[in-house]
């Protein structure tokens, strides 16, 4: 039996939710944008009225307003979007347990077996759209196909509130004439490289010799050829599948450039706090600390170092990060973005070598920070803060809750 894969994409998701909660802006062009004061001032989502003026995701706010002088700009409310994302997922669960998220507003569903109960994939897609529209007040476009790549292409082909079927019988007619940049993971750089070798449509990519593509793109060239020909066999990940966590990190673009070691120290402890809290939440410890630095001219470096013991405490992580920083940065440039990541993770209850000279300090520090986690859960992140952050110079933040929600990789 051929697979039946759906890809559901909630249309203009952030903007649709904002218009649902603010009726007075529903008939106006709307863009959900990051904060200009924190230098995140770009368009994250826009409604159809704004789209007609040429407003695009990634536009700077000033650029979007120059295209659409009457644009209504609203700040994002990620907790509200997450709530709607989970409500949509509850609807999907009525039809299958094979659900795989691709970001906050997109999901693949394998409904192969469900067709025996609910009819064809197209019927199920129409049911999903109807329920999302009536129960949530937003709309979705759904692609129906025999693999994940073409299902996503289908959801992109017709918006809003539409079902598009790409079958084994019609995919050459529907897919191969599309620009190659419409296919998943063909970004601007890959599209330019493909154009340079004479490939402009998905059909031309499908017809190119795999060896030729491998010479230009390595193994990735064969992967793109597989996608274009409809040979993708990657499964839809089960609902209860939890991929192994290889590392945990956070980064922040600051409201103003970092210019001194004291600025870096403040932000390092902010980031280390968030990374350590997430390690403890997942019952993990890590041993390798990595730092990421992007300078004011947008160049960047990454460096790393190893701790003597596995840890999930912010002090250990911050001290190591500052040590790495001190030997890696000469202040010839100011810093725009700083990131910290901990890798080489193991479960907290795994056996660990105990030092004769540790005097249980590491364990006591873990217990202290776990207690702080409990206080913050009840009274908010800012209820307990380090003395270092009293004069934080606008650098204090909550990276766990305030970061943008990014898509999940197609590859596991």
Catalytic residue numbers, as ranges: 106
Strand partners, 295: 335
For residue 352, how far is the Cα from the chain centroid?
33
Strand partners, 305: 289
Please give the sequence-ordered ranges of beta strands (E in DSSP) within 92-181, or none if there are none. 99-101, 106-110, 140-145, 163-165
Q: Residues 144, 165: contact at Cβ < 8 Å?
A: yes
Which two three-digit tokens encode residue 68? 């659409």
Q: Residues 4, 111: contact at Cβ < 8 Å?
A: yes
One DSSP character per residue, 282-310 reads: TTEEEEEEEEEEEETTS-EEEEEEEEEEE
Residues 6+ apart with CB under 8 A from 152: 7, 9, 102, 106, 108, 143, 184
Strand partners, 5: 110, 145
Q: Residues 398, 274: contact at Cβ < 8 Å?
A: yes
- d(CA 327, CA 333) in angstroms, rounded, equals 15
Nearest to 237 by CA among 49, 110, 77, 381: 110
Phi, psi of 23 (to 5 degrees): -55, -25
Nearest to 236 by CA among 395, 41, 412: 412
Nearest to 340 by CA among 410, 276, 389, 409: 276
Q: Residues 392, 266: contact at Cβ < 8 Å?
A: yes
Nearest to 14 by CA among 3, 25, 2, 5: 25
**Length, in residues, of the chain:** 412
Which two three-digit tokens encode residue 92? 């999907």
């Amino acid at each position: 039996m051929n697979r039946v894969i759906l890809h559901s994409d909630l249309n203009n998701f952030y903007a649709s939710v904002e218009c649902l909660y603010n009726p007075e802006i529903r008939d106006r062009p709307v863009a959900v944008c990051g904060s200009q004061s924190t230098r995140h001032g770009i368009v994250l989502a826009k409604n159809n009225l704004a789209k007609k003026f040429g407003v695009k995701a990634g536009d700077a706010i000033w650029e979007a307003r120059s295209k659409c002088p009457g644009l209504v700009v609203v700040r994002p409310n990620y907790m509200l979007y997450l709530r709607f994302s989970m409500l949509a997922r509850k609807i999907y669960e009525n039809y299958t347990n094979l659900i795989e998220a691709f970001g906050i507003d997109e999901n693949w569903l394998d409904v192969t077996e469900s067709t025996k109960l609910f009819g064809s994939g197209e019927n199920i897609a129409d049911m999903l759209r109807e329920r999302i529209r009536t129960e949530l007040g937003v709309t979705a476009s759904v692609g129906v196909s025999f693999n994940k790549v073409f299902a996503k292409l289908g959801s992109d082909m017709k918006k809003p509130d539409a079902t598009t079927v790409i079958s084994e019988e019609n995919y050459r007619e529907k897919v191969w004439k599309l620009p190659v940049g419409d296919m998943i993971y063909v970004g601007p750089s890959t599209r330019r490289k493909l154009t340079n070798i004479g490939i402009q449509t998905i059909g031309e990519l499908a017809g190119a010799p795999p060896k030729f593509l491998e010479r230009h793109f390595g193994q990735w060239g064969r992967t793109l050829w597989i996608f274009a020909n409809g040979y993708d066999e990657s499964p839809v990940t089960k609902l209860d599948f939890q991929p192994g966590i290889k590392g945990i990190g956070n980064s922040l673009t600051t409201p103003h450039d970092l210019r001194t070691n004291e600025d870096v120290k403040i932000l390092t402890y902010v980031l280390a706090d968030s990374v350590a809290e997430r390690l403890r939440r997942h019952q993990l410890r890590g041993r390798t600390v990595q730092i990421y630095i992007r300078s004011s001219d947008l160049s960047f470096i990454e460096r790393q170092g190893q701790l003597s013991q596995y840890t999930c405490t912010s002090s250990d992580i911050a001290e190591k990060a500052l040590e790495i920083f001190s030997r890696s940065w000469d202040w010839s440039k100011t810093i725009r973005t700083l990131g910290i990541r901990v890798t080489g993770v193991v479960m907290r209850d795994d056996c660990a070598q105990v030092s004769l000279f540790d005097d249980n300090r590491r364990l006591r520090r873990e217990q202290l920070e776990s207690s702080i986690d409990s206080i913050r859960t009840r009274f908010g992140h800012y209820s307990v803060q380090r003395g270092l952050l009293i004069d934080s110079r606008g650098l204090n933040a909550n990276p766990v809750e305030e970061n943008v929600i990014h898509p999940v990789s197609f590859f596991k």
